[in-house]
Amino acid sequence: MKLPAPKYIILALITPLIVFLDQLTKIMVIDRFRLGETIPIVLGYFNFTYIRNTGAAFGILSQADPSFRIPFFVIIPVVALLVIGYIFKRIEDRDFKLSCSLSLVIGGAVGNLIDRLRLGYVIDFLDFHWSYQYHFPAFNIADSAICVGVAVLVLDLVFQDDHPRESHHASSVV
């Protein structure tokens, strides 16, 4: 019996783990918090705050008409997952970095898509701020996985070695 390529093993480990952790933490928030409730974790910097995000990242399009917003936020992630799946299929079997980063993005996209299909919005609860004056938009485990996965992809592109390595053969100089 032939084992699956390493990239598929990575996908099979990381993606369900992200979906599980994302959904578990969201269930815990729903069970333990009232909507809008905040519990300080690190005073002046970090809270758990139960928020329902009807928009995209950072609440973008949250005020759009629901007849547009709801189908848009279901169709776009499905198309993105199909494109990422196509890209994933084409990467080298042993490309650990790309396999991990794409698996993180897929897991995060699936986690948030589950919320949208099940609830019509995404549950956010990680609330970072500076002395309660400057708030970073609340987010969740799925958002974190997507951001880390995309960051790894971007860093890989930025620091990618475009030049083939020179041969280390000794050359004689005359």
Q: How many residues does the chain have?
A: 174
Tokens found for residue 127: 């609330």
Task: Assess whether 22 carries a catalytic annotation.
Answer: no
Annotated catalytic residue, options 143, 156, 161, 162:
143
Strands 122-130 and 134-135: antiparallel
Task: Assess whether 162 carries a catalytic annotation.
Answer: no
* CA distances in angstroms from 36 to 33, 41, 52, 116, listed in the order given: 8, 15, 9, 19
d(CA 41, CA 21): 19
Q: Give which of 139, 109, 143 is closest to 125, Cα–Cα.
A: 139
Tokens found for residue 93: 């079997």
d(CA 159, CA 171): 29
d(CA 60, CA 65): 12
Annotated catalytic residue, options 22, 115, 124, 127:
124
Residues designated as active site: 124, 143
